[in-house]
Amino acid sequence: MSSLPFMKQYVSKPKTVGAVLPSSKYLADRIIKYINFDYACYIVEYGPGTGVFTDRMLRERKQDTIILLFECNAEFYKILKQKYKDEQNFYIVNDSAEHIGKYLATYGIPYVDYIVSGLPFASLPRDVSSSILAQTRKYLKEGGRFITFQYTLTMKSFIGQFFNEIGIEREVRNFPPAYVFCCSEAFALAPSILQKQWVDKK
C-alpha cells in the first residue's frame, strides 16, 4: 500500500498519528514474534494506521482467534474497513483505545491475550495515555502481553508504572529506528517466548 495516505494524515494530525511513514515489515516481524498464535484467543490492536501489523496477525492467527482494532482516525478507519471487508472474527472500531471496555463488552470478549499498540504515547496527552495503559492492564489476561513500539526510551518509566516487566529490543530497519517494548505483569506465568537477555527489570 502507498505511504501517501499515511503522510497526509501525519501532516493534518501529527500528535495522534505520531509517525511520517507506516512501520516497516522488519518492525512488524519484531512485534509479531511475541505473540503465540497457537495460544491466542483474543487479540486487540491499538492504532493500526494502514494495517502493517494487522496484515501479519491476520496471516498468522488461527481462524477462530478474534481480533479487535481501535483506530481513532476516520481516514485510516475507512482504509481498514475496505481492506479487511472479507475477514471473519475481526472487528474494527473508529474510536479511541480509551474505550476498550465498552467494545469488549459489545463483542462478547471476556479478556485479552495480547494487546499490540502503535500508539505514539510520547505525543498523546498524558491523561489519555494513562487511561489507555490502566485499562490495558485491567483487560489483559494473567500472563498476557502488551507489545508496543516507541522511537525513544523516554516513555519507558511511564509505561513501567503499569507493567513490572518490560523487555526491550531495537529495530534499526525502520524509519525512524524504533524500540519494541514487550510488557507483562505475571512474567513467570507467560508462555516462554521472551529471551532472558531481553528482560530489563525495573
Assess 79 for contact with ligand SAM (CB under 6 A).
no
Instruction: Determine if the peptide bond prior to 125 is cis (ω within 30°).
Output: no
Q: Report the residue from 30, 42, 43, 47 that binds ligand SAM according to the rule CB under 6 A.
A: 47
Range in contact with ligand SAM (rule: CB under 6 A) among 69-77, 78-86, 159-167, 192-200: 69-77
Of 130, 78, 121, 72, nearest to 97 (Cα)? Answer: 72
Residues within window 124-143 making contact with ligand SAM, judged by CB under 6 A: 124, 128
Residue 146 interacting with ligand SAM (CB under 6 A): no
Quick one: which of 32, 44, 67, 70 contacts ligand SAM (CB under 6 A)? 70
Residue placing its CB nearer to ligand SAM in the complex, 19 or 147: 19
The Cα 109–Cα 168 span in angstroms is 29
Helix orientation angle between 52-60 and 25-32, rounded to the nearest 10 degrees: 50
Q: Binding to ligand SAM by residue 53, rule CB under 6 A?
A: yes
Q: Is 22 in the site for ligand SAM (CB under 6 A)?
A: yes
Question: DSSP labels for 6-28?
Answer: HHHHHHH-HHHH--SSPPPHHHH
Note whether 69 binds ligand SAM by CB under 6 A: no
> Do 61 and 67 meet the contact criterion of CB atoms below 8 Å apart?
yes
Task: Reply yes or no: is the peptide bond before residue 176 cis, omega within 30 of 0.
Answer: yes
Query: Nearest Cα to 97, choosing from 122, 68, 54?
Result: 68
Q: Using CB under 6 A, which of the segments 48-56, 58-66, 82-90, 184-192 binds ligand SAM?
A: 48-56
The residues with which 93 forms a beta bridge, in sequence order, are: 70
Could you say whether residue 76 binds ligand SAM (CB under 6 A)?
Answer: yes
Provide the binding-site residues for ligand SAM, judged by CB under 6 A: 16-19, 22-23, 46-49, 52-53, 70-73, 76, 96-97, 118-120, 124, 128
